[in-house]
Amino acid sequence: MTPERIDFLALLSDPDMLQLMLVACPDGIVTTDANGRVTLYSGASEAIFGFDPIQVLDRHFSMLFVDGPERALLDQQLLERGRVVDVEIPGRHQDGSQFFAAVSAAVIRDRYGDVAGIVMYIRDHTAVRQIEDALRNRNTQLNHLVAKLDHMARHDQLTLLLNRGSAVEAAEDALLASGLEGMNLGVALLDLDHFKMVNDSYGHLVGDLVLARVGAVLQKATREGDIIGRFGGEEFVAFLPGADLDAVTRFAERVRTELENALIPVTEDISVTMTVSAGVAAIPSCADSLSEALRIADDRLYAAKRAGRNRVVHSDKNQRRSAA
């Protein structure tokens, strides 16, 4: 049996069926004549705007919306395109308060092509906006949290310097950015002398204070673009892009002198001093790779320790002389 064909035009021409469709539609429906005066104002429209039909019918539809650039854009697009879909403009409630209205509209033309009016479908987007704003705020908070966690994962929380892995990664990135050709990169490894004695004598809280002070001294001695990190325990690393062996040696010597002359308060009456030993190397004068430069700097650091500490070793010749 062939299903009976539904004549939608006949349904729309039936006043009772049209009224049922208007009542069932969750969107507010407003139609106007050619001059923009309201000719139909559905029950859903009344629920959205709050105006009684008698307050709206035969008045210009603009009374339902707030004048502004959004309203002007709606008029312009209807004039140019004949239709709009989900244009968000400020609507006006009967009590004067505003809300976000999503409007889809189309120009109705008669058989001769002349404008006969406008039909509009309206939704209250207030709840949607609230959800969007809440999601936007949550996303902002999430982005801040991710950035904070990333920072915490990359930095030593005591000294606020990069941790070992992040410092090495940053140095590798600097080398890659230079194309690995012709770039000087100074490498300094620094280790506090007799740091265990500080912990044993004054406790780990004072030891932490000393480490934090060393981090501050290192940051003060660096330029923009230099990479400073805590290498582990009481050992620190500095990667200086553009610095040759002489430059990184001068840097390490400045840090050594600053720490040697610094008084780190423990109590109101007691302060401690610290010294540091350092080994330095540079790419390409000492090594062809970052790992090789680190190995050489590490060898020279331990040569400084063997030679009596509180010094900077910058060459193998210096290393052999100091070790002897």
**Would the pLDDT of 323 be above 70?**
no
Q: How many CB atoms lie within 10 A of CB 266?
A: 17
**Would the pLDDT of 317 be above 70?**
no
Q: How many CB atoms lie within 10 A of CB 207?
A: 21
More confident call, 278 vs 9: 278
**Would the pLDDT of 267 be above 60?**
yes
- Please state, in angstroms and rounded to a whole number, the distance separating the CA atoms of residues 41 and 19: 11
pLDDT in tens, 224-244: 999 999 999 999 999 999 999
Q: How confident is the model at residue 313 (pLDDT cuts 50, 70, 90)?
A: very high
pLDDT at position 15 is 59
Return the closest-CA partner of residue 122 out of 75, 72, 96, 87.
87
pLDDT in tens, 37-69: 999 898 889 999 999 999 999 999 999 999 888
pLDDT in tens, 181-222: 568 999 999 999 999 999 888 888 889 989 998 999 999 888
More confident call, 77 vs 3: 77
Radius of gyration of the chain (CA): 38
pLDDT at position 161 is 95
Phi, psi of 237 (to 5 degrees): -130, 145
Which letter does DSSP use for residue 271 in this model? Answer: E
Q: Is 173 exposed, middle or buried (0-12, 13-18, 19+ CB in 10 A)?
A: exposed
- Domains annotated for the chain, with CATH where assigned, are 8-129 (3.30.450.20), 155-323 (3.30.70.270)
Respond yes or no: is residue 46 known to be catalytic.
Answer: no
pLDDT at position 154 is 93
- The answer to whether 103 touches 86, Cβ cutoff 8 Å, is yes
**Would the pLDDT of 166 be above 90?**
yes
**Would the pLDDT of 263 be above 80?**
yes
- Please state, in angstroms and rounded to a whole number, the distance separating the CA atoms of residues 87 and 102: 5
Question: Which ranges constitute the DSSP H helices of the chain?
Answer: 8-13, 15-24, 43-49, 53-56, 69-81, 126-154, 164-177, 195-202, 204-221, 245-260, 290-306, 316-323
Range among 59-68, 121-130, 295-304 with highest mean pLDDT value: 295-304
pLDDT in tens, 70-99: 888 888 888 889 899 988 899 999 999 999
- Mean pLDDT estimate for the chain: 86
Residue with tokens 């904070």: 148
Catalytic residue among 46, 132, 181, 234: 234
